[in-house]
């Protein structure tokens, strides 16, 4: 496959969207949450007796409102460069689910670390997840042991499901894997929230 052919593939567009969805959400939520804790903003929110789930839901809603429209714009722009057949409902579902568990992972980190640690660790983990997973290439291009190992990284499921969505398909395996990541992220968030109570 030539460079020109590979650059004009659904996988490259999916990788770009994955970087935007995962990195933007994960790094932003980790750093913002840590700063809110450090500055006392989190305490002020909790002192008002606002239920914690409502505070978290408002942050998730805000993050999705900022992430999903821009990701849709990237898809529409990419449509002129890459031959794709978009399946919109599953694509929006992938955006939302991927952003939600990225947010919960980042928030859990921000609740349990200092501002400096959250800033450094979110950058290191975010970029590691993005580049050491098959985000810009097909998972099938990896040797089998690495393929199985890559399923541990949260960006793999997002990228591979986005490729399916951009090709007009849905992959039940990657949707289920994203639901598992969401559940694990939610549990990590609840544990982290309990530690700051």
pLDDT digits (tens, 9 = 90+) for 25-35: 899 889 888 88
Q: Directed axis angle between helix 52-78 and helix 10-18, to 10°?
A: 150
Cα–Cα distances (Å) from 76 to 83, 89, 101, in that order, read 12, 15, 24
**Tens of pLDDT along 30-78?**
988 888 888 877 676 667 777 766 776 777 777 777 777 888 888 888 8
Cα–Cα nearest to 175, from 57, 94, 91, 119: 94
Q: Is the pLDDT of residue 4 over 60?
A: no
Cα–Cα nearest to 22, from 119, 115, 103: 103
* 188 confidence band (pLDDT: 50, 70, 90): very high
Q: Supply the pLDDT for residue 151.
A: 87
Q: Supply the pLDDT for residue 8.
A: 56
**Tens of pLDDT along 80-134?**
888 888 888 999 899 889 988 998 999 999 989 999 999 999 999 988 888 788 8
Q: Supply the pLDDT for residue 39.
A: 81
């Amino acid at each position: 496959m030539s460079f020109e052919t590979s650059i004009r593939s659904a996988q490259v567009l999916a990788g770009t969207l994955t970087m935007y969805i995962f990195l933007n959400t994960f790094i932003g939520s980790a750093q913002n949450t840590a700063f809110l804790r450090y500055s006392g903003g989190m305490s002020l929110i909790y002192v008002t007796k606002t239920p914690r789930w409502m505070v978290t839901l408002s942050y998730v809603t805000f993050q999705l409102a900022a992430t999903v429209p821009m990701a849709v714009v990237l898809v529409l722009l990419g449509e002129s460069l890459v031959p794709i057949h978009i399946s919109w409902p599953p694509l929006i579902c992938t955006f939302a689910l991927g952003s939600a568990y990225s947010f919960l992972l980042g928030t859990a980190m921000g609740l349990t670390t200092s501002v400096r640690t959250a800033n450094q660790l979110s950058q290191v983990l975010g970029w590691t997840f993005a580049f050491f997973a098959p985000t810009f290439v097909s998972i099938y291009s990896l040797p089998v042991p690495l393929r199985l190992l890559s399923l541990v990284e949260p960006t793999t499921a997002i990228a591979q499901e986005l490729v399916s969505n951009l090709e007009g398909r849905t992959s039940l395996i990657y949707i289920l894997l994203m639901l598992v990541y969401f559940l694990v992220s939610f549990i990590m968030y609840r544990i982290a929230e309990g530690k700051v109570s």
